[in-house]
Amino acid sequence: MTLSLGMLSRAPTWSLSGVIVTKWPSQRIHSMSGFFVLGKKKTSNKMLDILIVVMSFFIKNNALGLSTLLSALVVTGLHLGALRYYWYWSFWWFDILVHFAGGFLLTFLFLFLYQSISKNIPGIYHSFVFVILFVLTVGLSWELFEVIIESASIAEPDYLLDTIADIFVDIAGALFAYILFLRVPARIDRE
């Protein structure tokens, strides 16, 4: 990571892989064309540029965004590790863990998107219903996706039971994340 203080409309900036992000909210993210070091342009990986833009969107002085980003990294790491090292087939409980973490992630994602769009923290009961509906929708969509890509078969004897269990575990992860969200209000930005 190359940190550089630049003067872009007198705003302090930092640069990583060509993405220049200012520390002032009125400025936008500039230039994804390469790696900048003291004004010299070098080539870089475009995927890293996109990752930096996504990360800066979530972090941007927002504890809820940071929680969402960290949850996404954990869920992605668990899922990719499970596919690579056959953990889904080696450990019967690993699917449960990933679904729980997925429900946790979806809760923070919903609350983050709600806060980003409406610019305030949602009401407790109002948001609870929408969190559960959001998690149910994404969970059922994921189960349908598994059937479409033939990762799961409806003809399997325990398919329905497994799907129902996955949805309940998604909701349990969502409930855990929502309780955590309610218990740590001081850490969530209320701007």
Cβ proximity of 64 and 71 under 8 Å: no
pLDDT band at 177 (very low <50, low <70, confident <90, very high): very high
Domain that holds residue 99: 61-187
Distances (CA, A) of 67 to 25, 41, 102, 114, 155: 20, 33, 13, 14, 38
Cβ proximity of 168 and 140 under 8 Å: no
Considering the domain architecture, whether residues 50 and 79 belong to the same structural domain is answered as no
Considering the domain architecture, whether residues 98 and 125 belong to the same structural domain is answered as yes
Considering the domain architecture, whether residues 82 and 162 belong to the same structural domain is answered as yes
Considering the domain architecture, whether residues 101 and 15 belong to the same structural domain is answered as no
d(CA 108, CA 122): 12
Mark which of 21, 40, 60 sits at the end of a domain: 60
Considering the domain architecture, whether residues 88 and 156 belong to the same structural domain is answered as yes
The confidence score (pLDDT) of residue 185 equals 56
Per-residue pLDDT tens digits for 23-48: 434 333 333 333 333 334 444 567 66
Which of 72, 81, 75, 80 lies closest to 100 in space, CA to CA? 75
Q: Write phi, then psi, for 42 (nearest 5 degrees).
A: -125, 160
Per-residue pLDDT tens digits for 101-139: 999 999 999 988 888 888 776 677 778 999 999 999 999
What angle, 0 to 180 degrees and rounded to 10, lies between the N-to-C axes of helices 159-183 and 94-118?
A: 50
Cβ proximity of 146 and 173 under 8 Å: no
What angle, 0 to 180 degrees and rounded to 10, lies between the N-to-C axes of helices 124-148 and 94-118?
A: 130
Considering the domain architecture, whether residues 9 and 46 belong to the same structural domain is answered as yes
| pTM (two decimals) | 0.68
The four Cα atoms 45, 48, 53, 56 give a dihedral, to 10 degrees, of -140
High-pLDDT (> 70) share of the chain, %: 68
Considering the domain architecture, whether residues 68 and 120 belong to the same structural domain is answered as yes
The confidence score (pLDDT) of residue 147 equals 87
Amino acid at 102: G
35, containing H or E segment: strand 35-37
